[in-house]
Structure 1
Amino acid sequence: MAQHTLDTIKRMEEQFVDRIAENMRTYGVSTTVGRVLGIIYMNRKPMTLEALSDETGMSKTRMSQVVREMLSLNVAHKVFEKGVRKDLYDVEKDYYQTFISIFVANWQAVIAKNRAVGKRIQNEVRRFMEGEADNLSADEMEQLNHLLKETEQWLHYYKWLDDLVDFFESGDVFHHVPKPD
């Protein structure tokens, strides 16, 4: 292949990697994770931390952190290749599954955190109301009861979000919004 053709292909692949990186930011994931994801896609085969470090110019320590994040998001996985002694990492090739994995990981964390906050506030309000019942005015009781209702709605909302996450994670979403052929 002529050098011009190779350069053109490389430039187009870099544009593709840049788009993946930008998309990851939209999904609430660092562009660094997106770049590494795109680089492995374009490599078309698993890569070592060393190869990824060379490709990105990042230290192996930083690359290890990025790969761990990708593993926790379920968009990368360690693979075995006979005769290769270093760890190899590959990425999910199905764009739909990549989106679902990121969506699920991000929202599960948000849901868990906000449910805990809602329950903590609810318990705090109830304890306060029980301990101070004799000292509270009608307006103060009304405010506290309103806060309890708000936290109840808050918890219902996060239950709904949890159900939505399950809808994606189970693949049921594709029965309602099918993948194109």
Structure 2
Amino acid sequence: MFEHTGEYIKNDMIIEFSKTLEMFDLNQSEARLFAFMYLSNKPLTLDDMSEALGKSKTSMSTSARSLTELKLISPVWKKGVRKDLYQANPQLFKIFMMTYIDKWVDASKSQKEGLEKIKRQIHEQEALPNMEDRLEEVIEFHRQIEQFFACMKQEHSSLK
């Protein structure tokens, strides 16, 4: 009876943790796989992942590749094991925060550049003169976002 209850609790943990991970732009499959791997705290094969999550090995391979690219999991080597093994990166907070911060910095920088291009067009064509002040406020808003997340990035890069 306790084994069954333990499995339900572990599954609930994976579901709740994966909801948080989805807020960091992981799809549902990636989020559930990472949550499972992180909570397992040991190297796993694609077969282990597939069996535990009830997904195909191909699906697990695709998700594992995505998580590896994001540096959330890493391939590991274990003597005597011929299959590929993967393990969750233990620096959970730092990895997620750095990834999230990088996305915000890149997005705000890109949007700010697009808005500045529009501002130049307004100025060159002397179109929409009433909009120039409001547009400058929007650009400043993006500058502040970019600076805020750049400061956060610097702060979090010093965490261990």
Contact 1:167 1:173 in 2 (8 A): no
Q: What's the CA shift for 1:106?
A: 3.5
Secondary structure of the residue aligned to 2:97 is: helix
SS at match of 2:151: helix
Secondary structure, aligned partner of 1:77: strand
1:124–1:42 Cα change, 3 Å: same
- Match in the other structure for 1:153: 137
Q: List runs of 5+ in structure 1 lacking aligned partners.
A: 130-139, 176-181
* Distance apart, 1:109 and its partner CA: 4.3
RMSD between aligned residues: 3.0
Does residue 8 in structure 1 map to residue 38 in structure 2? no
1:66 aligns with 2:53: no
Tell me the secondary structure at the aligned position of residue 129 of structure 2.
helix
Could you list the per-position Cα deviations for residues 22-80 of structure 1 after superposition, in whole angstroms to 9, with x for gaps in the alignment? 11233443232221111102222122333222322223333233223323433222333
Which one has more relative contact order, counting CA pairs under 8 Å at least 6 apart? Answer: 2
Task: For structure 2, list consecutive stretches of 5 or more residues without a partner in the other structure.
Answer: none
Higher Rg: 1
* TM-score (norm: length of structure 2): 0.75
**Structure 1's 163 and 125: CA in aligned 2 closer, same or farther, altered over 3 A?**
same
Is the 2:22–2:28 contact (alpha carbons within 8 Å) kept by the matching residues of 1?
Answer: yes
Equivalent residue pairs, number: 159
Residue 52 in structure 1 maps to residue 49 in structure 2: yes
